[in-house]
Chains A and B, each alone.
Chain A
Amino acid sequence: MSILLDIDHIDMVFPTPKGPFTALSDVSLKIKKGEFVSLIGHSGCGKSTVLNVVAGLYQASKGGVVLNGKEVNEPGPERAVVFQNHSLLPWLSAYENVELAVDQVFGKSKTKAEKKEWIEHNLELVHMDHAMHKRPDEISGGMKQRVGIARALAMQPEILLMDEPFGALDALTRAHMQDSLMEIQAELNNTVIMITHDVDEAVLLSDRIVMMTNGPAATVGEILDINLERPRDRLSLAEDPEYTHLRSEVLKFLYEKQRKVEPISRKSLSGSKKKTEAA
């Protein structure tokens, strides 16, 4: 299949008060149409930065992002983003949140009735039709995330970008959401980049897992193809030797090859220092 998105030798350098900070160095990744790619890596390695560059919210310091043969430099609805903290407008109902996106993307090309139908269709897709006139503060975290996904899907994006979409949810809700996402994926076959720090989630959902090295100057470490048959079922997969193998590959990368060394000791040290100062 053809290449839809080409992340081409990207560097990202942030200016900080302590001088420039190189978050990403030479990140390259080609994504085919209809592919589900997970980005996994330790917290702070630069996963969100990659996603924000693809979304156009950050400008790469070097290199570029090519979508459908055209370079992209600014955000747009063809690269819809699902943010970690739902980012629904709190003063609008679920329906109105999706409506804002649909009005903007299909303002002229759809009639009022068509738009209404399209909004309701997308909310049904994420099983939120029963609560579509509720505001974000009246629904649970999982439901908010569902609406966020519906809003992104309603833009009919070329590629769906998800930054730890289920990271803030409890384990049970998360499993539920993963199943929903697989179901939607089976129907729409979207191209997706999803950031996660959950190994099971990555293996369960993806066609490929891109594992990033630790920052600074993080880059793509290894890429793991997941050729498990679809539809996938979390229960039967649990005993599947192939699944177990893939899972341990990711774990090995994260906890042997890219072990994160620093935090705990240093933090507790500075903590005790403060305490002595206070005393």
Chain B
Amino acid sequence: MTTITALFSKINDSHIASERFKGVSGDLAKVIVFPMLGILGFLLLWSVAAQNIDTSLGKFPGPASVVEQFGNLYEEHVREREKAEAFYERQEKRNADRMAKDPDFVPKIRDYTGKETFLDQIITSLVTVVSGFLLAAAIAIPLGIAVGLSKPLNSAVNPIVQIFKPVSPLAWLPLVTMVVSALYNTPDPSVPKSFLNSMITVTLCCLWPMVINTSVGVASIDSDLVNVSKVLRLPPLTHVRKIVLPASIPMIFTGMRLSFGVAWMVLIAAEMLAQNPGLGKFVWDEFQNGSSDSLSRIMAAVLVIGFIGFLLDRGMLQIQRYVSWDKASADR
């Protein structure tokens, strides 16, 4: 009898143990195994499909040739940097020589004007998207708060936002370009015009979703909380700082994440369209180049664009988790 109970308890134990193991392995499967399987499946599908697509530039690139191009792109970057260094070295030496001969000589330092490498273009695009996004946030959040707080202002601004929201920011691009070149014509610009064009396009893209989300967040604050503020007679600015802003942080971040994602997509397109430096220009240049490597280099760029977009969203999510009191809203 005792042996049977012992046996039972043993079975029970092992059952619990296996259950526990299942829990761990279940997580493992979810985090590592299944995503790996998904990626492998995609790679397989890709290479099979690639072999069967013939383009005027040769076969569509498979995973292997794209990996190879990643290596090439990096090497090109290193080589270009070496060239630049050599150029500056030569320039310095030349200037030093002339100074030695002629003490009155004022050396002119010329910038190296080599071709931007893939890595340079990535940095350019990132800087552009972040600056445009920050500019949009600086305008949209205060505006959204004002619109959310004031019904008359809301009625005044709403039609404008509703009309501009569905406009693709790319439609603005020609106008932005013209306005920038008309208004921004210092002889020695500290920031290039092309950067401003791309940045403003990003700003226009981010502005509307951020204004809408912020104002909706502000307008939908629990009326009890507003009443608390009234009973305490909080001055307007304190009311915004202590009640309105924290209460609408989750919605503000939803708008920010939404627009950041779209902004990244739009930026690449804008760079292609306007030939502004950045990843978009890289893609376009490769396309125009039309060499046998072009397609695999474009494919490499596509993967990088996707990966960066993913990282940007993750980054925003982390910031939201850190800033927002409503932890649940960050997981939505």
Interface class of chain B by DSSP? helix
- Residues of chain A within 8 A (CB-CB) of B63 are none
Nearest-CB residue, chain A, relative to B230: A75
For the complex, is B31 an interface residue (Cβ under 8 Å from A)? Answer: no
Are B234 and A87 within 8 A (Cβ)?
no
Which among B230, B232, B238, B325 has the highest number of chain A CB atoms within 10 Å? B232
**Which chain A residue shows the least CB distance to B227?**
A57
Taking a contact as CB atoms closer than 8 A, the residue among B225, B231, B234 that contacts A81 in the complex is: B231
B325 touches A101 (CB 8 A): no
Partner of A105, one of B232, B242, B243, B246: B232
B227 contacts A83, CB within 8 Å?
Answer: yes
Judge whether B120 is part of the interface by a CB distance below 8 angstroms: no
Q: Which residues of B contact A105 (CB under 8 A)?
A: 232
Residues of chain B with a CB closer than 8 A to A144's CB:
none
B222 close to chain A: CB less than 8 A: yes
Contact of A76 among B224, B233, B325 (CB under 8 A): B233
Residues of A within 8 A of B233 (CB): 75-77, 104
Nearest residue in A to B235 (C-beta to C-beta)?
Answer: A104
Residues in B neighbouring A79, C-beta threshold 8 A? 231
Tell me which of A74, A76, A89 contacts B228 (CB under 8 A).
Answer: A89
Out of B230, B231, B238, B325, name the residue touching A91 (CB < 8 Å): B325
Q: Which size bracket describes the interface of A in this complex?
A: 20 to 34
Among the listed B231, B242, B246, B325, which residue makes an inter-chain contact with A75, where contact means beta carbons less than 8 Å apart? B231
**Cβ-defined contact, B231 with A77, below 8 A:** yes
B111 CB, min distance to chain A CBs, angstroms: 49
How many chain B residues touch the partner (CB < 8 A)?
A: 18
Closest A residue by C-beta to B222? A87
B234: nearest chain-A partner, CB-CB:
A104
Q: Nearest-CB distance from B139 to chain A (Å)?
A: 25
A221 at the interface (CB under 8 A from B): no
- Report the bound CA distance from A56 to B229 in whole Å: 13
Q: Which residues from chain A contact B231 at a C-beta distance below 8 Å?
A: 55, 57, 75-77, 79-81
Q: Are B230 and A57 in contact (CB under 8 A)?
A: yes
Residues from chain A with a CB closer than 8 A to the CB of B232 are: 77, 100-101, 104-105, 155
Q: How far is the CB of B218 from chain A (nearest CB, A)?
A: 15
Closest to B231 in A: A75
Q: In chain A between 151 and 177, which residues have their CB closer than 8 angstroms to a CB of chain B? A: 155
CB-contacts of A59-90 with B (<8 A): 74-77, 79-81, 83, 85, 87, 89-90
Measured between C-beta atoms, what is the minimum distance from B50 to chain A in Å?
51
B230 touches A87 (CB 8 A): no
Which residues of chain B come closer than 8 Å to A89, judged between CB atoms?
Answer: 225, 228, 242-243, 246-247
A79, A83, A85, A155: residue with the most chain B Cβ atoms closer than 10 Å = A83
The contact sample of 26 A-B pairs, CB cut-off 8 A, is A55-B227, A57-B230, A57-B231, A75-B230, A76-B231, A76-B233, A77-B232, A79-B231, A81-B228, A83-B228, A85-B224, A87-B224, A87-B225, A89-B228, A89-B242, A89-B243, A89-B247, A91-B246, A91-B247, A91-B249, A91-B325, A101-B232, A104-B232, A104-B233, A104-B238, A155-B232
Q: A77-B233, A89-B225 are in contact. List 10 more A-B contacts (CB 8 A).
A: A55-B227, A56-B230, A57-B231, A74-B230, A75-B231, A75-B233, A77-B232, A81-B231, A83-B224, A87-B222
A: residues with CB less than 8 A from B are 55-57, 74-77, 79-81, 83, 85, 87, 89-91, 100-101, 104-105, 135, 155
Nearest 4 A/B pairs, CB to CB: A91-B325, A87-B224, A75-B230, A104-B232
